[in-house]
Amino acid sequence: MSPAEPAPLTDREGYYRRLGQKNMAPLWEVMKGLVPNEPVPSPAPAIWRWNDVQDLVMEAGDIITAKEAERRVLVLENPALAGTSCITQSLYAGLQIILPGEVAASHRHSQSALRFVLSGDGAYTAVDGERTTMSPGDFVITPPWTWHDHGNESDHPMVWLDGLDVPLVGFLDAGFKEDYPDDKQPITRPEGDSLARFGEGLLPAGHDGSSNCSPVFNYPYERSREALATLDRDQERDPCFGVRLKYVNPVNGDYAMPTIGTFLQLLPQGFTTAPYRATDATVFSLIEGRGRTVIGDELLEWGARDVFVVPAWSWYRHEVEEESVLFSFSNRPVQEKLGLFREERGEKTS
């Protein structure tokens, strides 16, 4: 055995072939790709403009019934991840439409799901025996393994943005799903019960606090928006984020969901954020405002109800034309729990 002289390439090829027969491979030929110096994210920046896609969303109502579809959702697929149903490598997003009189049947799954309401008023989500009526800007969650269904008893279609950790759970081989015997689960608690129980600065006296997902499942826009407005009076704006709040589980102050972090931020008219990048690819949407986001060389112009995505570890900044409220979500809780999250702030140039 003499390591002094490396083997001729031809010998290596034969050796590699014999390795392959034993399900082995030489690390040194692939190490650079496996352990890169910094993230080389595969997703691309992308935007789905409401004006562009609204008709297609509405048309889905003609194409398939809610009953047949189980969930009538148009997946927002990252153009760089074609065929994967992913908007980032670990997250899924879609636009769901539910028509008057329809029900999206009750089921439960290991995946965490969020809804950010874009259009319409008065449809409901039922979670674990309680209904909540939804309005634009509301942030609604359906925690892992809880029965949930949606229904529209208003006389308008309703559309919301869905966000799920479907790719992550698939990657971990840890997903289970079950259908409820009926379309609708029984309602056992009055509307507003969860918010009263957990959302007013108090908790049930004997609550055990062991759940990893928020028991509050609707964070009404009315309250969140008012909080942002109050804080904006301070004028203490973060250069990268403006005024930015994170939705939390009141039982432990952690993110509202175990795998998906969600934020709401106010950017005043004329504000330009300082450059920022982080290891969590992020999906943005907004219910009011207008502006643009510059990601490396790309420029995404956005307005109300648009959805766009910023890849991991890519410098970006927002430029605001009209006061905007941006909702965003990413896998940051996963990265933080695993000790992997990194972020970097740049200098504001203008």
Residues 117 to 136: which contact a second copy by CB under 8 A?
A: none
Looking at 117-125, 287-295, 319-327, 332-340, which segment touches a second copy (CB under 8 A)? Answer: 332-340
Nearer to a second copy by Cβ, of 53 and 294: the residue is 53
Number of other residues whose CB lies within 10 A of the CB of residue 61: 15
Q: Which residue, 50, 256, 12, 21, is CA-closest to 160? A: 50
Nearer to a second copy by Cβ, of 21 and 350: the residue is 21
- Shortest Å distance, C-beta 31 to a second copy: 6
Q: Between residue 201 and residue 260, which ones bind a second copy under the rule CB under 8 A? A: 201-206, 209, 212-213, 216, 219, 223-224, 226-228, 230-231, 233-234, 238, 241, 244-253, 258-259
Classify 112 as helix, strand or coil.
coil
Q: Can residue 38 be called a binding residue for a second copy (CB under 8 A)?
A: yes
Nearer to a second copy by Cβ, of 231 and 321: the residue is 231
Gap between the Cα atoms of 93 and 146, Å rounded: 20
Strands across the sheet containing 103-109 = 130-133, 123-127, 148-152, 103-109, 177-179
- Shortest Å distance, C-beta 323 to a second copy: 17
Gap between the Cα atoms of 275 and 164, Å rounded: 27
DSSP string covering 170-183, please? HHTT---EEE-SSS
Q: Between residue 256 and residue 275, which ones bind a second copy under the rule CB under 8 A? A: 258-259, 263-265
Nearer to a second copy by Cβ, of 256 and 304: the residue is 256
**Contact at 8 Å (CB) between 71 and 115?**
no
Nearer to a second copy by Cβ, of 189 and 348: the residue is 189
The site map against a second copy for 157-186 (x = CB under 8 A) is: x--------x-xxxxxxxxxxx--------
- Shortest Å distance, C-beta 302 to a second copy: 15
How many CA atoms does the CB half-sphere of 292 hold within 13 Å? 8
CA distances from 237 to 255, 324, 344 (A): 22, 14, 18
Q: Between residue 282 and residue 321, which ones bind a second copy under the rule CB under 8 A? A: 311-313
Nearer to a second copy by Cβ, of 204 and 296: the residue is 204
- Shortest Å distance, C-beta 197 to a second copy: 6
Nearer to a second copy by Cβ, of 304 and 309: the residue is 309
Using alpha carbons only, how large is the chain's radius of gyration in Å? 23
**114-131 per-residue burial string, b: 16 or more CB within 10 A, e: under 16:** bbbbbbbeebbbbbbebb
Size of the site for a second copy (CB under 8 A): 140
